[in-house]
Amino acid sequence: MSNSHSLMQEHQQQQLPADDGWNDAAQEAGERTIRGTLLKFADWRWTAGKEATPIKDGTRLVALATAAMWVRWADSKPAEYRMRQPNRRLPDRDELGYEDESEWEAGRNGEPQDPWRNTRLVYLVHPETAEAFTFSTSSWGGRNAVSDLGDAITRMRTVRRDAVPIVELRAAEMPTKHGRKSKPVFKIVGWRSADTGEPAPVEKQLTAPQAVQAEREINTKEMDDEIPF
């Protein structure tokens, strides 16, 4: 009896506190520019981390958020960030300084390379393991992929305000003046609710007019439900 009572007291003392600190730790992680493993895309391939581990085409991740910024590079590493502020435009290049090309470092082709790179980040998470990833791109095709994803999310949120997309990492051909190139694609294959994590009730992409009409129908249905006869 005494041993059992002692074990019970020890168990009660080891119970988790009301505030276990994990939320604060997660907030600190959320303040980092790069969260989790860095994702890159080049030459039809998705890769992860410094080792450039290949990522299987079609890998599914949840796209949580995005950020736009100018990144200034020096000595082959990021030296300064200029983030886009909410509801404000990204600064123009001529607002950033460092315009003297004689002071620029040489790029891969040996020519002076602008130290500022127009960059997009996409924060993603694995839907089963919660492993975090950050996709970083400064290419025209990459930035367009982020813009296209943002456009689709905005349309969906006209009918489901907390919708977040489940995407497959894909690649597509991109014709350029230098020939056939590749670009990354975030193919939307489903939606989740940001609040509950459950599948959103609408899982197809809508055009803007369809989204507006759907929202009107939902509002009308809610009003009809309130009529007591």
- Domain ranges in the chain are 33-204
**pLDDT at res. 19:** 76
Confidence of residue 18 (pLDDT cuts 50, 70, 90): low
In the chain, DSSP finds a helix count (H) and a strand count (E) of 4, 9
CB 185 within 8 A of CB 178: no
Model pTM score? 0.72
Place of tokens 């393991």: 129
Tell how far CA 228 is from the center of its chain. Answer: 45
Joined tokens for residue 185: 């694609």
At residue 23 the predicted structure's pLDDT band, cuts being 50, 70 and 90, is: confident
Of 166, 172, 139, 198, the C-alpha closest to 59 is 166
pLDDT in tens, 35-82: 999 999 999 999 999 999 999 999 999 999 999 999 999 998 889 999
Percentage of the residues of the chain whose pLDDT score is greater than 90? 59
Q: Distance from CA of residue 220 to its chain's centroid?
A: 34
